[in-house]
Structure 1
Amino acid sequence: MSMARCCFTRWTPQNSILFVCDMQEKFRPNIHAFAEITQVSKRLIEAAKILGMRTVVTEQYPKGLGNTVPELKEVLTPDTPIYDKTKFSMCAPLQPKDLEGIKNVLLVGIEAHVCVLQTTHDLLDKGVDVHVIVDGVSSRSRTDRKYAFKQMERAGANLTTSECVILGLLGGSDHPKFREVQKLIIQSAPDTGLVHKL
Structure 2
Amino acid sequence: MSLSRIGQLGQKSSVLFLCDMQEKFRHHIAYFPQVVSVAARMLQAARVLEMPIIVTEQYPKGLGPTVPELGADGLKKYSKTCFSMLTPEVEAELGTIPDLHAVILCGIETQACIMSTTLDLLERGLDVHVVADACSSRSQVDRLLALSRVKQSGAFITTSEGVILQLVRDAAHPKYKEIQKLIMKPAADSGLLSLFTGQNPLPT
TM normalised by structure 2 equals: 0.89
Summarize deviations over 1:112-155 as a string: whole Å, max 9, x none.
Answer: 00000000000000000000000000000011111101110000
CA distance in 2, matches of 1:195, 1:135: 10
1:123 aligns with 2:121: yes
CA distance in 2, matches of 1:68, 1:97: 20
1:98 aligns with 2:94: yes
What is the alpha-carbon root mean square deviation over aligned residues? Answer: 1.6
Summarize deviations over 1:42-65 as a string: whole Å, max 9, x none.
Answer: 000000000001110000000000
Shift of 1:22: 0.2
SS of the counterpart of 1:94?
A: helix
CA distance in 2, matches of 1:171, 1:161: 15
Aligned match for 1:148, one of 146, 149, 155: 146
Residue matched to 2:199? none
TM normalised by structure 1 equals: 0.92
SS of the counterpart of 2:150?
A: helix
Residue matched to 1:60? 58
Aligned match for 1:76, one of 53, 59, 72: 72
Instruction: Between 23-32 and 9-18, report the one with greater CA deviation.
Output: 9-18
Runs (5+) with no aligned partner, structure 1:
none
Shift of 1:18: 0.4
CA distance in 2, matches of 1:183, 1:31: 28
Residue matched to 1:12? 10
User: Are the aligned partners of 1:129 and 1:157 in contact in 2 as well (CA < 8 Å)?
Assistant: yes
Residue matched to 2:190? 192
Residue matched to 2:46? 48
1:87 aligns with 2:85: no
Summarize deviations over 1:30-80 as a string: whole Å, max 9, x none.
Answer: 1000000010000000000000011100000000000100012xx3373x3
Runs (5+) with no aligned partner, structure 2:
197-204
Structure 1 residues 195 and 59: alpha-carbon distance in aligned structure 2, compared to 1, 3 A threshold: farther
User: Are the aligned partners of 2:7 and 2:156 in contact in 1 as well (CA < 8 Å)?
Assistant: no
Shift of 1:9: 4.2
Q: Which runs of 4+ in 1 moved over 4 A?
A: none
Identity score, percent? 45
The total of aligned residue pairs comes to: 191
